[in-house]
Every structure is written in structure tokens, then in C-alpha cells.
């Protein structure tokens, strides 16, 4: 199964990531990082424990000390098999023991700790009780760029996920659209993503006709008709790394206006891509794409940011949005996805994942950005 092949990272890679995270935390004035099961834990350790458990699993990174994974004893054998485990001390606890006291013993009370956004409130409340005078910060707010710059192996995985999404588009453009429900086309997309190696499908947006004007519309029972614009936006994880691409197709011959709006979004997407270079601020990518749409008089109809980062999740920092001054760094990966949404009528969105190179940007999606006519 290509979809479940392990990521090509070594124990040393994970050790280096944990060391870098601890250093970055210290630079940000944090006394420790408390990492719950989820994308940060996967990225730091290679360990993906069940997230739906009330038993505490927590990676404790204290600058200057060895990383410790607090883990329920019954999960410890699995944790010990994680690729990053050689860089970790496992601190097992059994039912009836107090995992919060054990965690607190690893930390100095009074510090400011970064904690995963998805940590359970019950765990945080119990830690607060154990460690009076301690304050907490959102790990994502405090260290937004922790996972943002990808190394060569990560870039290869993202490119492979992008290629699988592109292969999915090349197949889906051949299926019949007219007379079928959005949900049926979405099921085809999910099937294709898995066929091309995805282990997880995160979204399969099929937004036809007026539904395309709502960027939040995922999929419904609407029967697609001839004359519809259809926004397709899909992605998920392949070998642990994300894909996310949008193309807008038309069922049969488009009107002049539909063609004009599609061309406009394509020009905006090109402008956003062209703004990608090391040192440019994230907001410059948004501004470049938005200016094209505003100049054409459609500014009120581009109602979301231009892009988001991608990695071990399909949405993460950095965000291409006005006000984000973070400079682009080679190895960052994010979407460039402007859109125009005409209420009650139709929408157009075109999205590629782009990575920052030494002198510009490189697309990880490369299916045609011209309007594709489907049946």
C-alpha cells in the first residue's frame, strides 16, 4: 500500500526537530513546550497516539533538558516503536497514578509554557492546579513558524501529494457531471485520491452553480446541470503530508462573463504566485493576487485570505493574509488560492500549493489553470 508507507525520517531527524523546538521555545521566552497528540507530536516524534482518549499523553520539552513523553503505560509499547523514540525518555503511568503530578515534576512552577491548541481542557486544568502561578500560551501563537520551513525530504513528500492530487484532477475531468449529484462527484474524488496513494481524505468540495458562490459549501445533493460552473477543491494526506488544490470547471460551453471571471481569477493566481520570493512578506502574496481582482472591480467578491501553509496538516501557518509580515523563507509551503464569489450565481477558485525556492516560487500543482470544459 503506497498510501501508508512510513515517512523517510530517522530518529536523528526527530531528535533535531525536538532540539530546535526547545531552542525556539527558549528564544520565545517559554520555559517548556507541552505537546498533545496531534500534528506537532507527529512532526516532533513520529508518534501518532490515539487522540480520542482521556488518558494523558504529553510530550514535555524543556530547553536544556532531555525530552520526555508522559504516556499511559498501556500505550508505552506503541510509543517505544515510534521512529523518534530513541530521542525520548518514556514516562509511563498506570491507571490510579496521577499523571499530572508526574508531569509537574518535570517542570518548574511559575514558568510560561506553550501548550498545543488541541490539548484537552481537562488536562490543562489539572496541570494548572499542580503548578500554581504558571501561565500558558497557545503553541501555535507562540511558535507559528515551528513547522513552516520544510526540509528536502518533506518537500519531496509534499510534491508527491501534490502530484497525486493532480492525477485526481486529470481523472475527474473525464467523468460525467451533468445530471449527477455533487455528492456523487465528491465520492469519485475521494476514491481517486485514495487510488493515488492518499491514506486520508480531508475535504472534497464540489460546489456547482450558485453553491460555488459560497466558499464554505462543501458538498450537497444538488444535481449538477449543463451551464454550471463547478468549483472543485480537494486534498488530504499522502504518506503523512498534505495536498490541497482547486480548479473550477464548466459543464458545457461557458458564457462570456463566466470566461471573463475565470480568466480574472487565473490572472490573480498568477500574480500571487509571481510575488513569491524569499524575503517577501506573506501579505505581499495576498496583496498581489487581490490587486488584480480589485482592479477589475470584483474586490468585494474575493472574501477570504489568499492562502495557508501546508505540511503534516492541510491548513497551518503561515497565512497569506493582509497584516502578516512574516517574511517568506525557502522551504515554506502554502496555497495561493484567490477566488471570486458572485452571490446566487457562481464562484471561481484556482489553487496551487507553492514552495519558496532560493529565487522565487515553485508550484507543486501543475494541472492546467485554463478553464476545463466537462460533460
Residues 120-159 that bind Zn ion (CB under 5 A): none
Q: Name the minimum Å distance from CB 315 to Zn ion.
A: 7
Torsion of CA 250, 248, 187, 173, to 10 degrees: 60
Q: Name the minimum Å distance from CB 159 to Zn ion.
A: 16
Q: Name the minimum Å distance from CB 145 to Zn ion.
A: 19
Q: Name the minimum Å distance from CB 335 to Zn ion.
A: 4
311 closest CA partner among 145, 166, 85, 119:
145
Q: Which stretch binds Zn ion (CB under 5 A): 76-84, 130-138, 166-174, 332-340?
A: 332-340
Which residue number, 79 or 364, has a Cβ lying nearer to Zn ion? 364
| Residue 281 CA: distances (Å) to CA of 88, 157, 204, 350, 352 | 36, 25, 30, 22, 19
| Cell of residue 62, nine digits | 524543556
| Cell of residue 66, nine digits | 532531555
Q: Which stretch binds Zn ion (CB under 5 A): 31-39, 180-188, 223-231, 298-306?
A: 223-231
DSSP 117-162: TTS-HHHHHHHHHHSTT-EEEEHHHHSTTTTTB--HHHHHHHHHHH
Q: Name the minimum Å distance from CB 8 to Zn ion.
A: 25
Which residue number, 82 or 213, has a Cβ lying nearer to Zn ion? 213
Q: Please tell me whether residue 78 adopts helix, strand or coil conformation.
A: helix
Q: Name the minimum Å distance from CB 307 to Zn ion.
A: 7
Cis peptide before 143 (omega within 30 of 0): no
Site string for Zn ion, 234-263 (x = CB under 5 A): ----------x-x-----------x-----
Which residue number, 182 or 351, has a Cβ lying nearer to Zn ion? 351
Which residue number, 85 or 165, has a Cβ lying nearer to Zn ion? 165
Q: Which stretch binds Zn ion (CB under 5 A): 45-53, 104-112, 185-193, 230-238?
A: 230-238
Element (H, E) at 194: helix 182-195
DSSP 339-356: EEEETTTEEEE-BEEEEE
Q: Name the minimum Å distance from CB 353 to Zn ion.
A: 8
Query: Binding to Zn ion by residue 220, rule CB under 5 A?
Result: no
372 DSSP assignment: E
Residues 337-356 that bind Zn ion (CB under 5 A): 351
Which residue number, 227 or 299, has a Cβ lying nearer to Zn ion? 227
Do the strands 112-115 and 135-138 form a parallel or antiparallel pair, or are they unpaired? parallel
Total number of residues that touch Zn ion (CB under 5 A): 7
Query: Binding to Zn ion by residue 335, rule CB under 5 A?
Result: yes
Which residue number, 127 or 350, has a Cβ lying nearer to Zn ion? 350
Enumerate residues 6+ apart whose C-beta is below 8 A from 288: 271, 272, 274, 275
Q: Name the minimum Å distance from CB 209 to Zn ion.
A: 8
Query: Binding to Zn ion by residue 233, rule CB under 5 A?
Result: yes
| Cell of residue 357, nine digits | 525556492
Please select the residue that binds Zn ion; options are 3, 111, 210, 227, rule is CB under 5 A.
Answer: 227
Q: Please tell me whether residue 242 adopts helix, strand or coil conformation.
A: strand
In the complex, which residues of this chain contact Zn ion (CB under 5 A)? 227, 233, 244, 246, 258, 335, 351
Amino acid at each position: 500500500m503506497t498510501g501508508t508507507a512510513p515517512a523517510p525520517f530517522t530518529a536523528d531527524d526527530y531528535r533535531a526537530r525536538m532540539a530546535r523546538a526547545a531552542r525556539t521555545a527558549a528564544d520565545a521566552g517559554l520555559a517548556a513546550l507541552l505537546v498533545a497528540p496531534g500534528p506537532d507530536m507527529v512532526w516532533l516524534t513520529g508518534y501518532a497516539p490515539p487522540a480520542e482518549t482521556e488518558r494523558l499523553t504529553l510530550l514535555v520539552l524543556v530547553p536544556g533538558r532531555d525530552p520526555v513523553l508522559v504516556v499511559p503505560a498501556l500505550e508505552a509499547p506503541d510509543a517505544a516503536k515510534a521512529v523518534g523514540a530513541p530521542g525520548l525518555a518514556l514516562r509511563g503511568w498506570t491507571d490510579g497514578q496521577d499523571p499530572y503530578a508526574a508531569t509537574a515534576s518535570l517542570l518548574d512552577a511559575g514558568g510560561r509554557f506553550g501548550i498545543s491548541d488541541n490539548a484537552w481542557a481537562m488536562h490543562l486544568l489539572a496541570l494548572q492546579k499542580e503548578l500554581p502561578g504558571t501561565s500558558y500560551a497557545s503553541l501555535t501563537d507562540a511558535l507559528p513558524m515551528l513547522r513552516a520551513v520544510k526540509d528536502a525530504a518533506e518537500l519531496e513528500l509534499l510534491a508527491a501529494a501534490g502530484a497525486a492530487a493532480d492525477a485526481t484532477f486529470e481523472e475527474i475531468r473525464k467523468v460525467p457531471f451533468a445530471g449527477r449529484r455533487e455528492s456523487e462527484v465528491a465520492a469519485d474524488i475521494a476514491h481517486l485520491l485514495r487510488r493515488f496513494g492518499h491514506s486520508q481524505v480531508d475535504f472534497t468540495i464540489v460546489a456547482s452553480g450558485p453553491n460555488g458562490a459560497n466558499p464554505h459549501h462543501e458538498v450537497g445533493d444538488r444535481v449538477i446541470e449543463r451551464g454550471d460552473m463547478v468549483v472543485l477543491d480537494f486534498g488530504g494526506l499522502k504518506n503523512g503530508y498534505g495536498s490541497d488544490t482547486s480548479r473550477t470547471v464548466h459543464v458545457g460551453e461557458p458564457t462570456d462573463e463566466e470566461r471573463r471571471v475565470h480568466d480574472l481569477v487565473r490572472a490573480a493566481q498568477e500574480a500571487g504566485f509571481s510575488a513569491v520570493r524569499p524575503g517577501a512578506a506573506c501579505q505581499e502574496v495576498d496583496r498581489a493576487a487581490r490587486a488584480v481582482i480589485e482592479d477589475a472591480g470584483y474586490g468585494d467578491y474575493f472574501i477570504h485570505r489568499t492562502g495557508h501553509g501546508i505540511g503534516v496538516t492541510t491548513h497551518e501557518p503561515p497565512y497569506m493574509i493582509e497584516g502578516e509580515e512574516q517574511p517568506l523563507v525557502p522551504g515554506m509551503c502554502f496555497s495561493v488560492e484567490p477566488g471570486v464569489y458572485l452571490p446566487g450565481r457562481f464562484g471561481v477558485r484556482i489553487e496551487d500549493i507553492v514552495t519558496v525556492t532560493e529565487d522565487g516560487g515553485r508550484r507543486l500543482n501543475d494541472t492546467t489553470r485554463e478553464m476545463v470544459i466537462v460533460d
